[in-house]
């Protein structure tokens, strides 16, 4: 059987493996989750950044409060000094002493200057020493001076050490505009600031010119140095945030605050990497998670897909087995839908097998030979048991049906003409021709001849195309032989009847020829015909193969005499049918004669019939003696009656032997010397 190609019904769908579909399904389920996670992350990152930005602003502001507080402290110191009597008196020497006392033990410097560049006194030098000029005041400082506000200086260096100064305006004794100032090292500002610096943050303090006053890290290197121009550009307005690169090439998130009092600015920097670290951590975690999820789902897809593919392959192999009539094994699968299909296939196979068993039972039982073929040449065939028997092949019951075998070389005859293989019923059926009850004689390789009555039909597939053929044949050999035998029998019977009629004709002719009167002729003829009929009976009993001599004698004599008046003795001798008939008639004649004239005509007379077999060379002879005893006085008969003539004619020298009739004083003696020959056929009654 062949499994047909799938029907091209409906539209063509792209064919992808189950694995790809699974992968697609998983991707469809996972990707939105990832996207959502990414969205949340982005939101989180933005929040983080703004949190950092506000923190930066807050830190910068706090720093400004801390540092500006110290500046106020410094201003308070010089403010206290400015209220001293020495100051109001203009006693600069005493002022110097008091100032010196205030800064004693520290590196602070208190000095007095005018609005020009002159120093009037400094704790750095003994009173009265000539002092170096100081830097001129800027216009904004002068403006502050006018409004009696403390003036905070920028960074400046005194003998290599960076300092800042906080000045307050004071009046000289003569109404001069002086400035009383206290100077500290920039380190001091740094030291004030450091405890308030949050971890991870870098704090920078810049003067109004943009130079570094203090820095939470690398203070020593940076103090007094101008800030990066790019950085300074972005510090605009009172406060704000920005990102920038520092001089180390690191990207920073920065918040700044500019103090109104000192006009200094405070920056709080944090490396962007720290700001973004949670984002990257989350991103990498998500990515790792996604990767792991992807790997797991891929592995699952692979395993499940492999299971699908294997189950599908197993199902396909089972469907093929079903198509080819092989047994379908049960299938173990974890997928219930496939298990349902597999179970259905097994059930289908069982149903098919049952149909096949039915067909096999029919093919085994039907007393007809059946051949199937699916071979276009009709050379490979499947036979049922009868067909195998018919062809003289072994009939292994299970093997005889269902397996293909090569045809046997036979000679086929129809109406006496040879039929080539192409013209035999099975081959013709493969070409779509049908055969009905045609008689063929087959001669098998072993010489056996069989007569078959054959019919054949093509087997058509669903498309109507011829895919095979079936031939059913009845073995009518016995019937044909019977018919032939009947014909021969009828012929034989006809022959025998004619022969018998010829014998009857002869008996009638002889009887009439020798009769003295018509009534006597009638009696003789009747008794002779009865005798002939009895001999026929004996021969028919033996199927005309011959008869036993004793039986022939007994049957021929029984109508004429009692058993006690006959003495019958001799070996068993088998007579041919012709001889049996002749002897039967012969004994009938002798008995008739004995009843008329011989031993059986009186009460005392008896007849002894005896015989013996002897061999003369190759052939057997039998000598039969008919001896009449105790009869009336013997008178030799002159005229040769039909009886005598018949005896001589039947059994005399011209036919099978010798007949001698002598009239001894005791009675008539007749001796037959008969050659038995070798054979004893049934067809010799002439």
Compare residues 189 and 659 and give the one whose CB is closer to other proteins: 659
Q: How far is the CB of 469 from other proteins (least distance, A)?
A: 42
Compare residues 220 and 683 and give the one whose CB is closer to other proteins: 683
Compare residues 62 and 582 and give the one whose CB is closer to other proteins: 582
List residues binding other proteins (CB under 8 A).
491, 494-496, 498-499, 501-503, 505-507, 509-510, 513, 576, 578, 582, 585, 645-646, 649-650, 654-656, 677, 679-681, 683-684, 686
Compare residues 429 and 622 and give the one whose CB is closer to other proteins: 622
Q: How far is the CB of 413 from other proteins (least distance, A)?
A: 22
List the 417-419 sheet strands across, edge first. Answer: 405-406, 380-383, 369-373, 466-475, 449-460, 435-443, 411-414, 417-419
**In whole angstroms, what is the distance from residue 604 CA to residue 562 CA?**
12
**In whole angstroms, what is the distance from residue 276 CA to residue 296 CA?**
29
Compare residues 43 and 505 and give the one whose CB is closer to other proteins: 505
CB atoms within 10 A of CB 383: 26
Compare residues 255 and 577 and give the one whose CB is closer to other proteins: 577
Q: How far is the CB of 686 from other proteins (least distance, A)?
A: 5
3-class secondary structure for 537-582? HHHHHCCCCCEEHHHHHHHHHCCCCCHHHEEEEECCCEECHHHHHH
- Buried b / exposed e over 236-265, threshold 16 CB at 10 Å, is eeebbbbebebeeeeebbbbbbbbeebbbb
Compare residues 369 and 676 and give the one whose CB is closer to other proteins: 676
Strand partners, 449: 443
Q: How far is the CB of 501 from other proteins (least distance, A)?
A: 5
Compare residues 435 and 644 and give the one whose CB is closer to other proteins: 644
Compare residues 88 and 506 and give the one whose CB is closer to other proteins: 506
Q: How far is the CB of 545 from other proteins (least distance, A)?
A: 12
Q: Check if the beta carbon of residue 314 is closer than 8 Å to that of residue 333.
A: yes
CA atoms within 13 A on the CB side of 592: 22
Q: Among positive and negative, which fits the CA dihedral 143, 149, 155, 156?
A: positive
Compare residues 8 and 686 and give the one whose CB is closer to other proteins: 686
**In whole angstroms, what is the distance from residue 38 CA to residue 99 CA?**
65
Q: How far is the CB of 544 from other proteins (least distance, A)?
A: 13
Q: Check if the beta carbon of residue 360 is closer than 8 Å to that of residue 370.
A: no
Q: How far is the CB of 602 from other proteins (least distance, A)?
A: 31
Torsion of CA 407, 408, 409, 415, to 10 degrees: -90
Compare residues 495 and 596 and give the one whose CB is closer to other proteins: 495
Q: How far is the CB of 650 from other proteins (least distance, A)?
A: 5
Q: How far is the CB of 679 from other proteins (least distance, A)?
A: 5
Q: How far is the CB of 586 from other proteins (least distance, A)?
A: 10
Q: How far is the CB of 587 from other proteins (least distance, A)?
A: 15
**In whole angstroms, what is the distance from residue 659 CA to residue 5 CA?**
97
Instruction: Note the maximum CA span of the chain.
Output: 234
| Alpha carbon distances (Å) from 678 to 41, 45, 615, 619 | 128, 134, 11, 7
Compare residues 146 and 640 and give the one whose CB is closer to other proteins: 640
Q: How far is the CB of 665 from other proteins (least distance, A)?
A: 32
**In whole angstroms, what is the distance from residue 159 CA to residue 180 CA?**
21
Compare residues 429 and 647 and give the one whose CB is closer to other proteins: 647
Q: How far is the CB of 589 from other proteins (least distance, A)?
A: 12
Q: How far is the CB of 664 from other proteins (least distance, A)?
A: 27
* Sequence-ordered strand ranges (E) for 571-664: 574-575, 606-616, 619-629, 657-664
3-class secondary structure for 251-294? EEEEEEEECCCCCCEEEEEEEHHHHHHHHHHHHHHHHHHHHHHH
- Buried b / exposed e over 573-603, threshold 16 CB at 10 Å, is bebbbbbbbbbbbbbbbbbbbbeebbbbeee
Compare residues 148 and 679 and give the one whose CB is closer to other proteins: 679
How many residues are there in the chain?
A: 686
Within 8 A by CB and 6+ apart from 529, the residues are 504, 507
**In whole angstroms, what is the distance from residue 42 CA to residue 291 CA?**
19
Torsion of CA 291, 295, 301, 306, to 10 degrees: 160
Nearest to 525 by CA among 626, 640, 637, 642: 642
Q: How far is the CB of 505 from other proteins (least distance, A)?
A: 5
**In whole angstroms, what is the distance from residue 178 CA to residue 165 CA?**
15
Strand partners, 402: none
Q: How far is the CB of 588 from other proteins (least distance, A)?
A: 12
Compare residues 341 and 535 and give the one whose CB is closer to other proteins: 535
Compare residues 478 and 502 and give the one whose CB is closer to other proteins: 502
């Amino acid at each position: 059987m062949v499994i047909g190609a799938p029907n091209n019904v409906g539209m063509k769908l792209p064919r992808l493996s189950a694995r790809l579909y699974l992968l697609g399904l998983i991707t469809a389920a996972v990707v939105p989750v990832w996207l959502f996670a990414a969205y949340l992350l982005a939101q989180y990152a933005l929040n983080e950044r703004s949190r950092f930005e506000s923190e930066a602003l807050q830190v910068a502001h706090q720093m400004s409060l801390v540092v500006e507080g110290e500046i106020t402290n410094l201003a308070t110191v010089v403010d206290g000094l400015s209220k001293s009597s020495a100051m109001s008196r203009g006693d600069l020497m005493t002022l110097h002493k008091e100032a010196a006392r205030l800064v004693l033990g520290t590196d602070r410097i208190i000095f007095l200057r005018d609005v020009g560049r002159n120093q009037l006194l400094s704790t750095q030098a003994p009173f009265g020493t000539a002092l170096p000029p100081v830097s001129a005041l800027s216009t904004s400082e002068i403006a502050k001076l006018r409004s009696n506000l403390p003036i905070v200086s920028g960074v400046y260096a005194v003998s290599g050490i960076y300092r800042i100064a906080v000045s307050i305006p004071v009046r000289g004794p003569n109404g001069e505009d002086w400035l009383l100032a206290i100077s500290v090292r920039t380190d001091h500002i740094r030291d004030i600031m450091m405890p308030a610096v949050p971890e991870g943050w870098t704090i920078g303090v810049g003067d109004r010119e943009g130079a570094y006053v203090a820095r939470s890290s690398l203070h020593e290197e940076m103090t007094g140095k101008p800030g990066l121009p790019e950085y300074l550009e972005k510090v605009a307005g009172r406060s704000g945030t920005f990102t920038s690169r520092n001089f180390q090439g690191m990207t920073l998130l920065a918040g700044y605050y500019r103090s109104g009092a000192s006009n200094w600015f405070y920056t709080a920097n944090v490396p962007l990497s720290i700001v973004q670290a949670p984002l990257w951590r989350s991103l990498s975690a998500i990515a790792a998670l996604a990767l792991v999820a992807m790997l797991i789902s891929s592995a699952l897809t692979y395993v499940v897909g492999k299971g699908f593919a294997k189950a599908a392959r197993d199902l396909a192999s089972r469907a093929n087995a079903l198509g080819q009539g092989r047994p379908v094994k049960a299938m173990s699968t974890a997928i219930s839908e496939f298990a349902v299909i597999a179970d259905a296939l097994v059930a289908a196979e069982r149903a098919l097998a049952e149909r096949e068993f039915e067909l096999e039972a029919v093919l085994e039982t039907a007393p007809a030979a059946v051949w199937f073929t699916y071979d276009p040449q009709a050379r490979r065939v499947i036979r049922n048991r009868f067909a195998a028997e018919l062809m003289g092949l072994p009939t292994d019951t299970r093997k005889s049906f269902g397996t293909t075998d090569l045809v046997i070389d036979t000679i086929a005859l129809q109406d006496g003409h040879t039929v080539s293989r192409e013209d035999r019923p099975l081959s013709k059926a493969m070409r779509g021709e049908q055969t009905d009850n045609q008689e063929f004689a087959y001669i098998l390789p072993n010489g056996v001849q069989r007569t078959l009555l054959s019919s054949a039909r093509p087997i058509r597939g669903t498309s109507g195309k011829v895919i095979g053929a079936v031939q059913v044949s009845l073995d009518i050999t016995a019937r044909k032989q019977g018919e032939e035998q009947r014909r021969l029998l009828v012929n034989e019977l006809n022959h025998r009847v004619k022969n018998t009629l010829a014998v009857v004709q002869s008996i009638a002719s002889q009887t009439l020829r020798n009769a003295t009167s018509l009534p006597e002729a009638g009696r003789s003829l009747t008794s002779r015909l009865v005798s002939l009929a009895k001999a026929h009976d004996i021969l028919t009993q033996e199927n005309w193969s011959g008869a036993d001599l004793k039986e022939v004698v007994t049957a021929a004599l029984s109508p004429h005499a009692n058993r006690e008046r006959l003495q019958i003795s001799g070996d068993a001798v088998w007579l041919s049918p012709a001889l049996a008939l002749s002897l039967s008639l012969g004994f009938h004649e002798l008995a008739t004669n004995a009843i008329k004239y011989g031993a059986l005509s009186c009460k005392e007379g008896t007849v002894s019939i005896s015989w013996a077999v002897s061999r003369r060379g190759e052939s057997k002879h039998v000598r039969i003696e008919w001896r009449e005893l105790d009869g009336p006085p013997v008178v030799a008969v002159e005229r040769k009656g039909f009886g005598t003539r018949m005896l001589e004619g039947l059994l005399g020298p011209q036919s099978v032997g010798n007949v001698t009739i002598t009239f001894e004083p005791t009675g008539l003696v007749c001796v037959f010397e008969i050659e038995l020959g070798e054979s004893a056929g049934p067809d010799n009654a002439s």
